[in-house]
Amino acid sequence: MFGARLKDIRLSRKLKLKELAALTGIDVTLISRFERGDRMPTKNQLLLLSEQLGVSLAELKKEWLADKVVALLQYEPMAMEALQVAESRVEYLTSKKVHDAPQLSDELQAKLDRADDLRKRWRQAQPLGPSQLRRLHEFFDIEYTFESNRIEGNTLTLQETALVVNEGLTIGGKSMREHLEVINHSEAIGFVRDLVLGKEDLSRRVVMEIHRLILKEVDNENAGRHRKVPVRISGSDTELPQPYLLEKLMEDYFEYYELHSKRLHPIILSAEMHERLVSIHPFVDGNGRTSRLVMNLILMSRGYTRANIKGDTQSRLAYYRALQQVQKNANPDPFYHLVADEVIRSLEQHLELV
């Protein structure tokens, strides 16, 4: 217990109560109450006590926090269950170093610098004429829909995707679902573009709306709603959070964004928000497509062009492996590189066409 520990340390330092009070500036009766467990010090008082007693703040704080948890749970019949739930949340938050800025290698920093140079050139090329803009959109939107849906297993070719989106044609031998996936993804790109134009930032509403568009008519019951069942990612043994954790994890997700949106490089931020969303996996289906659109909303709203992660087998496996590196080894580096490479490639392609 905190009080007993505090008293032990004070006595081991051969200090009387009033001596510690004089050293810390904390009232003598208050310190006596701390030691009896009648009162708890504030964070500031904790710091003063640790400094004057020559004991690490972490050591004191551990006892202090444990007492707070006990005080909260001691008369609750569900105390042990609540602790288990809290434990997995805390594990998630600490493993992701939620509040730390990541360390970037020189190689990665060089890529970010290169992307920023290209972005500057892309900005200088603005504004584009309406017909040029339309051609660019047509070209890159179709390619993006094709690749993102290919990752998910959609079998329409690039040409077929273009025919469905541009001409409204139906492709013989392909399911209704595959057609809807193409149309929906294309609509979701339009939604993201409107957000960028209207300067609307990432938010819960935005994520839910992107997801709703992705699953519209394909699975209306789950479109724009969190899953209520446990899920697995096929071919991966990554443990995904139980449904009852989703609300809190999504709250943390948006809190992370708020805390980091102005601190991280936009490419790193977009990679983080992508990876975090797929690792929470809040939806029964469509998590990948939604997360890739979220990543692109972040990039586009900061003046970059879209990162288009490819759906061929080799690229898909590299993408999955990079995600797995974050989930299993808390190593985001390969995923940062992957996103940075795609942003650079995309900017180069856009610049070639203007």
Question: Which residues are catalytically annotated?
Answer: 281
Confirm whether residue 256 is marked as ligand binding.
no
Q: Where does this chain touch ligand ATP (CB under 6 A) — which range of 31-39, 84-92, 133-141, 319-327? A: 319-327
Rule CB under 6 A: say whether 296 interacts with ligand ATP: no
The C-alpha torsion from 313 through 315 and 319 to 321, rounded to 10°, is 70
Rule CB under 6 A: say whether 219 interacts with ligand ATP: no
Rule CB under 6 A: say whether 320 interacts with ligand ATP: yes
Neighbours of 323 (CB within 10 A): 23
Rule CB under 6 A: say whether 289 interacts with ligand ATP: yes
Confirm whether residue 54 is marked as ligand binding.
no
CB of 170 to ligand ATP, least distance (A): 22
Q: Kindly state the tokens that stand for 124.
A: 């200088």
What is d(CA 20, CA 119) in angstroms, rounded to the nearest whole number?
Answer: 59
Q: Kindly state the tokens that stand for 306.
A: 């879209």
Q: Which of residues 134-173 bind ligand ATP (CB under 6 A)?
A: 151-152
Neighbours of 81 (CB within 10 A): 10
Confirm whether residue 292 is marked as ligand binding.
yes
Task: Using DSSP, state whether 201 is helix, strand or coil.
Answer: coil
Rule CB under 6 A: say whether 288 interacts with ligand ATP: yes
Q: Which of 6, 189, 297, 323 binds ligand ATP (CB under 6 A)?
A: 323
Task: Using DSSP, state whether 86 is helix, strand or coil.
Answer: helix
Task: Lay out the site mask for ligand ATP across 48-87 (x = CB under 6 A, - = otherwise).
Answer: ----------------------------------------
CB of 283 to ligand ATP, least distance (A): 6
How would you class 334 by CB atoms within 10 Å of its CB: exposed for 0-12, middle for 13-18, buried for 19 or more? Answer: middle
Q: Which is nearer to ligand ATP, 178 or 285 (CB)?
A: 285
Q: Which of 178, 286, 300, 338 binds ligand ATP (CB under 6 A)?
A: 286
8 A C-beta contact, residue 303 and residue 297: no
Please spell the DSSP secondary structure of 266-310, one letter per residue: HHHHHHHHHHHHHHH--SSS-HHHHHHHHHHHHHHHTTPPPP---
Q: Kindly state the tokens that stand for 58.
A: 């972490």
Count of residues making up the chain? 354
Rule CB under 6 A: say whether 285 interacts with ligand ATP: yes
Q: Which of residues 236-255 bind ligand ATP (CB under 6 A)?
A: 236, 238
Q: Where does this chain touch ligand ATP (CB under 6 A) — which range of 68-76, 84-92, 249-257, 283-291? A: 283-291
Confirm whether residue 291 is marked as ligand binding.
yes
Element (H, E) at 85: helix 79-95
Q: Which of 28, 163, 180, 233 binds ligand ATP (CB under 6 A)?
A: 233
Q: How many residues in the shown chain lie near ligand ATP by CB under 6 A?
A: 17
Enumerate residues 6+ apart whose C-beta is below 8 A from 250. Answer: 204, 226, 280, 282
Confirm whether residue 287 is marked as ligand binding.
yes
What is the Cα 132 distance to its own chain's centre?
34
Rule CB under 6 A: say whether 128 interacts with ligand ATP: no
CB of 334 to ligand ATP, least distance (A): 12
Confirm whether residue 235 is marked as ligand binding.
no
Confirm whether residue 320 is marked as ligand binding.
yes
Q: Which of 167, 186, 166, 164 has the alpha carbon at shortest distance from 175?
A: 164
CB of 291 to ligand ATP, least distance (A): 6
Which residues define the annotated binding site for ATP? 285-292, 319-320
Which residues define the annotated binding site? 285-292, 319-320
